[in-house]
Amino acid sequence: MHCGGWDSIRKYVSTYFSKIYVQENPRDEQNVGELNQVHSLLVHIFRGYKSEPELWEPIINGMVMQQGEYEGIPYYHVAHMTGGLPTAIINIGIIGVFNEFPVLYVIGRKDLPYRSENNEIDEVFAESLKYIYKEYSKSM
């Protein structure tokens, strides 16, 4: 059993999340989505993983453990996907331990200054994750 391929994924996403459009190419400028629907999709994936891990494992495995990029957050407490275009950025992930009430988050922004010329945007995202982790840590 598996989740499908790109055709199945696109069909499923377009059926249940009308404000999300995905292409196989992550750099395709037609990849768009409203953040609230992207978060709903992440919640759906996470719940699916909790109930049928063998089915959803490839998607969860696509969320990589961070590699020490965020000071103060243990690498095993962040599984995420980041991406963006020259003037847009998104970070989708799970902070915390999977079976101890983790935080699922989606952070995004469009119409930004060119990221290749302005690393402040990426720094703000890193600070945001540190803040989310700090709040998560308080709850544990």
Q: Letter for the amino acid at 18?
A: S
Pairwise pLDDT comparison (35 vs 6), residue with the higher score: 35
Whether 4 has a pLDDT exceeding 80, the answer reads no
The predicted structure's pLDDT at residue 88: 87
**pLDDT (average), residues 29-58:** 90
pLDDT in tens, 104-137: 999 999 899 988 888 888 889 889 999 999 999 9
Q: At CB < 8 A and 24+ separation, what contacts does 91-94 make?
A: 91/125, 91/128, 91/129, 92/38, 92/42, 92/63, 93/63, 93/129, 94/42, 94/46, 94/63
Residue with tokens 């703000």: 124
Residue with tokens 């409203």: 34
Whether 102 has a pLDDT exceeding 70, the answer reads yes
pLDDT in tens, 44-87: 999 999 999 888 888 888 887 655 568 888 888 998 888 878 88
Report the predicted TM-score, pTM, of the whole model to 2 decimal places. 0.85
The predicted structure's pLDDT at residue 66: 57
